Structure 1
Amino acid sequence: MIRQEKNLQIVIIISTFGGLLFGYDTGVINGALGAMSAPDQLNLNSFQQGLVVAILQLGATIGALGIGQVTDIYGRKKTIMILSILFFIASLCCVLSPNVNFMLAGRFALGIAVGGVSVTVPTYLAEISPTKKRGKVVTRNEFMIVSGQLLAFVFNAIIAISMGDSGHVWRYMLSLAVIPAIVLGLGMIKMPESPRWLISKGKIEEGANVLSKIRTSQEAKEEIEILKKAITEEANIKKMTIKDLKLAWVRRLLMIGIGMAFINQFTGVNSIMFYGTEILKTSGFTTNAAFLGNVANGVIAVIAMITSIMMMDRFGRRPMILTGLAGISVVLIGIGIISNTMQDSDMLPYFILGLTVLYLAFFQGLIGPVNWLIISEIFPLRLRGLSMGIVVMILWLSSFVVALLFPILLEYIGMSNTFFTFALLSILSFVFVYCFVPETRGHSLEELEYFFMYKYGK
């Protein structure tokens, strides 16, 4: 059993480098954007800055929606390997970009890879892990995402402070992304294919061989029978299509899922995760101090994520997310007031840093992971394919809008009004969750389905 557990841990570590890449590539732009925008570099205006950041989210929309067929045809393992190659090539394109158009193409390709791993890696982890450990194993990928963002912030600070005199400092920041891409690609060569995918393709013996390496012999035999039965049952389930949106309870669930996707983006988290360094510089920090301050944002995001994972099964989903939304609403109002009333104070940047850290503690500890959990829990199996596809698309497009507009808002309406806008959206989000989002903890998917069918009708 010790050997099988060790094999499983190796699989988890290697495959979650996809999450690490996800985090690094979304976080590294936080520090690279300022140097990249200089007149002697890519000479970006505020719209181009937003586009360079946001186009990754647009690519991720396509990657997340299109990866399903690829992974069903070629398998989870090969798909992750293909995505690692795309990460490597796209990262090099960004590093070597001679102009903004080349950079946009590279970032768009990175987005496709990010969207691909955002779907494929959790699927692979869920299918490779034992049922009793599935929740903890899959959330390891979320932990790796925020860890990748923290690594990006740390390396950005180190490179900026030690090599800040170089105009090409942003290229050095972006270049480090090729390392985890190589680790992921080479590491997956030795990793097994998903036993569930193998068995679904009729490759029972190969699936059994994989399970024998990561389960005891008895567990492997039992799981094979369970998988065969589950795959047969799923094949007989009538999946819902767009036509089924005429059902009131289906529309209701989809409305909740889309609302949660909006909450995940329009409450402002990615303004800090993508533009934290620029926010701190705008508030008055020197460039080096802003890089160091942004590391604190990354550290608190990781700590809050760990705390959230520990609390997730102890408290209800609604109390956690409502508390988080109330907290960030107050913090965002505080940022708006302080940035407006303390413009000439030397303490302004320290207050802004303290508030962004507090914001991330609320969001990553009480909103982000719980939000994703609610989205995954409210949809019954026959509705999941349709609804998750729509919700993921809305989520990435919302992220695109926020990433694109934030530097423009910062330039034209100022920091204070920008964060007041996020505060208003957070308050509206609180009202939405309070009025419409059910408590999912302790309820099966079938119970939730019956509840919505009974309450809102067919």
Structure 2
Amino acid sequence: MSQSARNSGSTAASALPTLMPGPYRKRLGVVALIATLGGLLFGYDTGVINGALGPMSAELGLTPLTEGLVTASLLLGAAIGAVTLGRVADAWGRRSTITLLSVLFFVGALTCVLAPNVEVMITGRFILGIAVGGASTVVPVFLAELAPYEIRGSLAGRNELAIVVGQLAAFVINAIIGVVWGEQEGVWRIMLSIQLVPALALFIGMFRMPESPRWLADNGHHEKALKVLSELRPAERAELELAQIEQIRNEEESEKLNWKSVLADKWLRRILLVGIGLGVAQQFTGINSIMYYGQEVLTESGFSKSAALIANIAPGMIAVVGGIIAVSIMDRFSRRKTFLIGFALTTTCHLLIGIASIVLPVGNPLRPFVILLLVVAFVGSMQTFLNVAVWVTLSEIFPLKMRAFGMGVSVFCLWMANFFLGLYFPSLIAAVSITGTFFVFALLGALSLLFVFKWVPETRGRTLEQLEEEVTTGTIFLPANLRAN
């Protein structure tokens, strides 16, 4: 990008009027509510297996291997969905792709509910995984591209909040159904069927949602982009923002950022590695192992199976509380500092869980309650300081021409890390117990802290176009005092 383009882009950003209250905020809220139904389904799908797996195993005759396959097939599908549906979103648009996701959620859920055997169940879970991976890639980008930069963090962060609400809903529904109809045949089918309702709501709702103005501008639809911005901004900002978006588009119109051109550019290559590193580091905290196998962890710590099913609601509740706090601070607090605090806290929790499992041996009446408390502290730290911040950062750090590619590759690596943890976590617990497992997570957390400190730049407080300028020129990686100069 030329120096004149950088200067004009910065001037356009600085000339934007202050964001004032207005009716556009209500419209943004409605758009976010509908779009994040994808996140809600994402959360429900990843959380419902926590309570459904036991009765499903008994009825379908699952072995430990096929239990792992049922759980991990969703994660493998998510990895594929993340890397492919981002490209679909570039071709079809964000709104059309999210509509497609709603169909995949519905078909996948119905396949699982009606599954007569393990093969059909794995197929249904794989379809759901494609939808989950697509939602994890497309929905945050859709929200980030719609939001004014001043509130981009809190608006895009609502998707992660919807995910943990979906997981909590799965835990609560599992507990209620398990307690009331626990001995009834096919109880797991009831647990899985609940998600059909939000999938249908997402399909209907997306027909009334606008397309991303950045996608419209990038595809030459000037008038449509202006119309969308006029609905979602104060009137005096819409044309100025569109001018800023199109300035970047016009300067880079000749650039086709395929994977070869991304890898050939040292700054684009570096930001891609940052995205991949953040996604993998998030998963190596072990958060989703708790969400998938929380009941088994609590059972191993000393709870009975029925007590563990109920106690498992506590991490889900603190996840929602943490998500609400995270969304409320996202527009005011440094992303980079949030990561550093988050990895420091989760690593400390891992160490304490490992130590507690040594100091309080099996049979000690305090053991299950202390480990539950520490697990709740870990989940709360994770949701408050890491999960929302990671998804928001991934949605904003990549230039428009590589956003689908960068987000897709980063989230593919995230889901592959999730897949291997989901597949091997029960074996890890069996081999080295809670003690060894959480000490491994503590080591990975320490490495993640080092990665953030040395590699991850600050992204808060800039428009997507300003971030694009700083990434493509490498200035985003400079210390703040040098970047200001």
Q: Is 1:407 aligned to residue 399 of structure 2?
A: no
| Structure 1 moving runs of 4+ over 6 Å | 452-455
Q: Using the alignment, how far apart are the partners of 2:399 and 2:96 within structure 1? A: 29
Q: 1:64 aligns with which of 67, 82, 105?
A: 82
Fraction of identical pairs, as percent? 47
Q: Is the 8 A contact 1:242 1:386 kept in 2?
A: no
Q: How does 1:55-454 map to 2 (within 5 A)?
A: 55-215=73-233, 217-237=235-255, 239=257, 241-242=259-260, 245=263, 251-340=269-358, 341-376=360-395, 379=398, 384=403, 386-440=405-459, 445=467, 446-447=469-470, 449-451=473-475
Aligned to 1:15: 35
Q: Is the 8 A contact 2:319 2:379 kept in 1?
A: yes
Code of the aligned partner of 1:107? R
- Tell me the SS of whatever aligns to 1:346: coil
Q: Using the alignment, how far apart are the partners of 2:270 and 2:71 within structure 1? A: 33
- Tell me the SS of whatever aligns to 2:474: helix
Q: Is 1:35 aligned to residue 59 of structure 2?
A: no
Distance change in 2, residues 1:183/1:247 (3 Å)? closer
* CA shift for structure 1 position 51: 1.9
TM-score, length of structure 2 as denominator length: 0.84
Q: Using the alignment, how far apart are the partners of 2:477 and 2:102 within structure 1? A: 42
Distance change in 2, residues 1:47/1:427 (3 Å)? farther
TM-score, length of structure 1 as denominator length: 0.88
Q: Using the alignment, how far apart are the partners of 1:245 and 1:210 within structure 2? A: 34
Aligned to 1:25: 45
Q: Using the alignment, how far apart are the partners of 1:169 and 1:215 within structure 2? A: 47
- Tell me the SS of whatever aligns to 1:413: helix
Q: Is the 8 A contact 2:346 2:445 kept in 1?
A: yes
- Tell me the SS of whatever aligns to 2:290: helix
* CA shift for structure 1 position 121: 1.8
Give CA-to-partner distance per residue, 1:282-318, whole Å, 9 cap, x none: 2222333222211111111111122223333444444
* CA shift for structure 1 position 89: 1.0
Q: Using the alignment, how far apart are the partners of 2:146 and 2:408 within structure 1? A: 23
Q: Using the alignment, how far apart are the partners of 1:315 and 1:127 within structure 2? A: 20
* CA shift for structure 1 position 79: 1.9
Give CA-to-partner distance per residue, 1:210-239, whole Å, 9 cap, x none: 455445554444455444444434424453
* CA shift for structure 1 position 46: 2.5
Q: Using the alignment, how far apart are the partners of 2:245 and 2:164 within structure 1? A: 32
Give CA-to-partner distance per residue, 1:356-380, whole Å, 9 cap, x none: 1010122111222233445456555
Q: Using the alignment, how far apart are the partners of 2:340 and 2:25 within structure 1? A: 38
- Tell me the SS of whatever aligns to 2:60: coil
Structure 2 gap segments, 5+ residues each? 1-20, 480-485
Give CA-to-partner distance per residue, 1:160-195, whole Å, 9 cap, x none: 111111132211111101010011111222333334
- Tell me the SS of whatever aligns to 1:28: helix
Give CA-to-partner distance per residue, 1:41-100, whole Å, 9 cap, x none: 122233322221121111111111111332233332222222111111100111111111
Q: Using the alignment, how far apart are the partners of 1:16 and 1:122 within structure 2? A: 9
Q: Is the 8 A contact 2:40 2:163 kept in 1?
A: yes
Stretch moving more, 115-124 or 433-442: 433-442
Code of the aligned partner of 1:363? M
* CA shift for structure 1 position 452: 7.4
* CA shift for structure 1 position 127: 3.5
Q: Using the alignment, how far apart are the partners of 1:315 and 1:217 within structure 2? A: 28
Q: Using the alignment, how far apart are the partners of 2:262 and 2:354 within structure 1? A: 44
Code of the aligned partner of 2:70? V
Give CA-to-partner distance per residue, 1:143-171, whole Å, 9 cap, x none: 11111111111111111111111132211
* CA shift for structure 1 position 440: 4.9
- In the comparison of the two structures, how many residue pairs are matched? 453
Give CA-to-partner distance per residue, 1:243-294, whole Å, 9 cap, x none: 6535655554444333322211112111111111221122222333222211
Code of the aligned partner of 2:274? I
Code of the aligned partner of 2:158? R
Give CA-to-partner distance per residue, 1:380-400, whole Å, 9 cap, x none: 556655543332221111111
Q: Using the alignment, how far apart are the partners of 1:358 and 1:319 within structure 2? A: 19
Q: Is 1:53 aligned to residue 65 of structure 2?
A: no
* CA shift for structure 1 position 202: 4.0
* CA shift for structure 1 position 442: 6.3
Structure 1 gap segments, 5+ residues each? none
Give CA-to-partner distance per residue, 1:326-378, whole Å, 9 cap, x none: 22222222222333442011222211211110101221112222334454565
- Tell me the SS of whatever aligns to 1:59: helix
Q: Using the alignment, how far apart are the partners of 2:37 and 2:105 within structure 1? A: 11
Q: Using the alignment, how far apart are the partners of 1:3 and 1:442 within structure 2? A: 23
Q: Is the 8 A contact 2:263 2:269 kept in 1?
A: yes
Q: Is the 8 A contact 2:90 2:404 kept in 1?
A: no
Q: Using the alignment, how far apart are the partners of 2:270 and 2:141 within structure 1? A: 26
* CA shift for structure 1 position 37: 1.8
Q: Using the alignment, how far apart are the partners of 2:228 and 2:392 within structure 1? A: 28
Distance change in 2, residues 1:131/1:296 (3 Å)? same
